[in-house]
Structure formats: structure tokens, C-alpha cells
Chains A and B, each alone.
Chain A
Amino acid sequence: MKIRLKIKYDLLKDYIVPISIFLAALLIYYLGIFNKLMFPNPFSIIKQFFVLMISKEMYSEIFLTLNRVILGTIISILIGVPFGLVLGYFTKLYDMFEFIIDFSRSIPATALFPLFMLFFGIGNTSKIMLGAWIATLVIIVNTSYGVRHANKVYLKMAKVYKTSKMYILLHIVFPGALPNIFSGLRIGVSLVLIVVIVTEMFIGSVDGLGQSILNAQLTYNIPKMYALIIITGMLGYLLNILFLTLERRIIHWTENNNKNNNDDKNNEDDDNNNKN
């Protein structure tokens, strides 16, 4: 009996909280605590969600938003990683840039959108560039941190064996900073998503998920608005999972990313066998 309960618990534990929240939402709806216009029937939101998914009417909007997020992220990687590596490696350069980077990072990205519109217009480019801007700063900070806090003895070793500067940068400094680069990437991509969704809501924007959410609200199609918010959340969640999977694939050597660490015992046995 206990065992059966345990199995059920393992299966259910991931769903207990979401299901409870859904039930609570149902309760709130039927008790009429909030205005039913603001807080529609949870079932109608789910229905709306499936309608959107099946009718494919939102696919082009999802694609447009995703496209902006991905382009913004790629640009930020291309600029942020090399710049971060160099700044982390040359500490004097880092000292010179530290203030301006921290200051730029402190400006809420959306405050810069009017400025970006002046430069890049109201179309795609300004949204992509603003997303890239904020993600680049985050990636620079994380990458240079990873470089500065990398194992210094590797550098000593490289010096002893007289390896080239290029080898040190690409084969010692860069892989050493990869864990930090990836955490920068994951923060960066979620920031790009935020910036893209917000800027899609600006006057002058005509497409994208942000615009669709705003339209649903303006036309009082509130279940649709909720359904779109859920879709946006799924997008962010999937992007995060994508980067986590990439990270595990690429950085196979750190403790939590490889399953082989518990093989250590076997290796010691191998070692002893070798002796004979």
C-alpha cells in the first residue's frame, strides 16, 4: 500500500501545484471574487489556447516574435562573447570599461526604445537591436567574470609549456569561461524575449505576440489574451530548455553535467588491474 502511494506521489508531484492553482482559479471564478470579464472561466482559456494552436492563426505571430528573439540573441552572442573574453583577459581594459558597462546595464532597456526607433525605425530592426543591446551587456559581464575567475594554474601550465597566445585564448580561457557564458546566455535570451514582447506593444508596431496580446485586450477577447500570455511563457520556457540542453551537451566535463563521475570507482579498479 505504501509503495503504491509512493509511486503515485512520484508521478503526481510535478502536477500537484499546477493542478491546485487551476482548481483555485476555478473556485475564484465560480465564487465571482473578480469581475468575470477580467477573470474569465479557466476552461475557456484552455479552450481558447487549443483553438489558437489548431487554427494556426497565431503561428505567423509566434514565428515573427521568435525570429526577433533569435536574431537578437545571435547578435548579442557574436558581440558579447568575444568582447567579454578580451575584457576578462586584459584586466586593465576591464577596469576601463567596467563603469560604462555597469551604467548601461542599469538603464532599463525599454527606456531606450524611443532612441532606438529614431535610429532603426519602427520595424523589425529596432526591436532586434534593443534586445541584442541588453543581452550583449549581460553576456559581456558573465563572460568576463568567467575569464577572470578561471583557474589561474592552467595559465601557469600553459606558460611552462610555452603554448601560443591563441591556444591560451581559445583552448584554455574560452572553455574555462563556458559555464559562465552559458548562464549569461540564458539570462540574455529571456531578457531579449521581454524586450521584444514589450516593444511589439508600442504604437507603430503591427505584428508579433506582444501586439496580439495587446489587441486581444483592446478587443475585450480576454480568454485569448490569457491564452497568448501562456504561449509567450511557453516560448520563454522552451528557449531556456534549449539552452540548458545545449549547455549540457557542450560542457560535458563539469560535475553536474556528466553522468560518468560515479564511474570513478571503476577506474580505480582498472588502475589496480593495470599494475599486475
Chain B
Amino acid sequence: MTFLTVSELNKEYPNVHVLDKICFEIQRGEFVSVFGPNGCGKTTLLNILSGMDNSYTGSVKFTDNSIRKAFIFQNSNDSILPWKNVLDNLRLDNQNIDESRIKDVLDELKLSNFKNRFPYQLSGGMKQLLAIARSFVFECDIIFLDEPFSSLDYNMAQTVREKFLGLWQKDKPTIFFVSHDIKETILLSDKIILLSKRPAKIKKIIEIELPRPRDSTILTSKKFLEYEKMILYEVENENKIED
């Protein structure tokens, strides 16, 4: 079932042409990633789709208008309120939130012991998990993530990624994920949208057919490496054309 249709999406700033005729579709429950060079317009695309940026031409259509969106920022410090403890950060002003839902999400992320702590008593990885947990507590239909693991060290990022996958596996909200880490992108996604340098065009859309549930052991499987090669080839190709 189609969830989101983007067609002929164009975005121009006064002197820069950022997005050039972007067209794609996302199915409900799909995990879609955007991969491309730095500064190519990934975040711009994310802002447009999530409704934070409304100045573009072309069309962005959700099949259902009443969907709930969530947004996970690059740096957890930007979305976690430092003066509220973990529980209050999850609830915000939602009075009739399902307490058992909070409990399930916290259990899944192994954060239950920290529910009364304040963000400054948590590590960077736990704070990012908390931001993710909130989008699941609110039962959002689509979650936008902007390089959410890039500020974490390797081990922490890996742990957070796996917990995130575990949570996603359960009720499968649609995910729109921006990353510049090839391995991460392949590990997580159903579908990868490869963008070119600015002005960004869609270079290729790759379906990742690795079995789920996935964990870090998949990183060394043959199929995984093939996907990685394929994407690297595309990236290299572009660099050559430029030279």
C-alpha cells in the first residue's frame, strides 16, 4: 500500500539548485534510507517531507492525511528537554498516553531502570534512544531520522542501531532515514535512495533483500558486501565523471 508519493520535487534557494525532479514512492511500513554525498540536499529533502519546509515545487502526497509524524534530530540534546526526566520527556503534554505502551518501549530499549533519571544523568546513546522511544510512544506513522547515530562512537552507535531495529520490528512504522554511512544504510533499510551531488537527482533506488531480523552479524555476509560494492561503485562512478 502506497504511503507517500513524491513527484517532480524541485527545491531552489536563490543561488543554489538543491533538489532536481525527485520522484519516488514509499510503502507503508517500509524502511527507506537516503544516501548521498555531504551537502547534496538530504536534510533538505527530509525537511520538506516532514513538513518543516514548505517552499518547493512539485508534489509530496501522503495517502492518508491524518498521519502522525515524528522527527529524530542528529543531536539528541536538541530534542530531549534537559529539565524533564525520562518519563516526562516521553509523555510531553499528552495526558491520555498509554502507560503500558511507555513501559513496553522502555523495556524493549532496556531503559526501564532509568525512567526517573534526568537527561544529564544519561549517556549520549541513551539520550538518542530516548528521542527514538518518544516517537514510538506517540505511535507515529512515519519517523524521520536525520543521521541520528552520527554523533555516537562506533560501539554505542551499533548498540543503539540494534535496539532501534528491535523496536521497529514490532510495530513497523514507516521510516525515512538520512545517513552518510554506507554500512548503516544497508543494515537498516528495505530501500535505499541514492542521490547524486547537487543539484540532487535520484541516481538509483536499491531494494535491499536481506532477511530480517538483522543484526551486526549480517555485516560480513556475502550479500551485504555485494550491496556495499554496488553502492560504492555508483559513488566512484560519479567521482570519475567529475574528474
A is bound by B: yes
Closest CB of chain A to B124's CB: distance in Å?
A: 8
Closest CB of chain A to B172's CB: distance in Å?
A: 20
Count of A-B contacts judged by CB separation below 8 Å = 75
The interface residues of chain B lying within 8 Å CB-to-CB of A252 are 118
Interface 1/0 per residue, B62-106 and A, CB below 8 Å? 000000011101000011011110000000111000000000000
The interface residues of chain B lying within 8 Å CB-to-CB of A161 are 70, 92, 94, 134, 138
Taking a contact as CB atoms under 8 Å apart, the answer to whether A164 and B93 are in contact is yes
Interface membership of B125, Cβ < 8 A: yes
Interface membership of B230, Cβ < 8 A: no
Interface membership of B132, Cβ < 8 A: no
The interface residues of chain A lying within 8 Å CB-to-CB of B50 are 160
Taking a contact as CB atoms under 8 Å apart, the answer to whether A271 and B156 are in contact is yes
For the complex, what is the distance from the CA of A1 to the CA of B49, rounded to whole Å? Answer: 71
Closest CB of chain B to A156's CB: distance in Å?
A: 7
Count of chain A residues near B, Cβ 8 A = 33
The interface residues of chain A lying within 8 Å CB-to-CB of B155 are 272
Interface membership of B123, Cβ < 8 A: yes
For the complex, what is the distance from the CA of A156 to the CA of B146, rounded to whole Å? Answer: 14
For the complex, what is the distance from the CA of A178 to the CA of B82, rounded to whole Å? Answer: 12
Closest CB of chain B to A154's CB: distance in Å?
A: 7
Q: Which residue of B83, B114, B121, B126 contacts A175 across the interface (Cβ within 8 Å)? A: B83
Interface membership of B17, Cβ < 8 A: no
Taking a contact as CB atoms under 8 Å apart, the answer to whether A160 and B71 are in contact is yes
Count of chain B residues near A, Cβ 8 A = 31
For the complex, what is the distance from the CA of A252 to the CA of B85, rounded to whole Å? Answer: 12
Q: Which residue of A154, A258, A261, A271 contacts B78 across the interface (Cβ within 8 Å)? A: A154
Chain B interface residues toward A at CB < 8 A: 50, 52, 69-71, 73, 78-79, 81-84, 92-94, 110, 113-114, 118-123, 125-126, 134, 138, 155-156, 159
27 contacts between A and B (CB under 8 A): A151-B78, A153-B79, A154-B79, A156-B71, A157-B71, A161-B70, A161-B138, A164-B93, A167-B93, A171-B93, A175-B83, A178-B83, A252-B118, A253-B120, A254-B82, A260-B120, A263-B121, A267-B121, A267-B122, A267-B123, A267-B126, A268-B125, A268-B156, A270-B114, A271-B123, A275-B110, A275-B159
What would 18 more interface pairs be, CB under 8 Å, given A160-B71, A175-B81, A267-B123? A151-B78, A154-B78, A154-B79, A154-B81, A156-B52, A156-B73, A157-B79, A160-B70, A161-B92, A161-B138, A163-B92, A163-B93, A258-B120, A267-B121, A268-B156, A270-B114, A271-B159, A272-B159
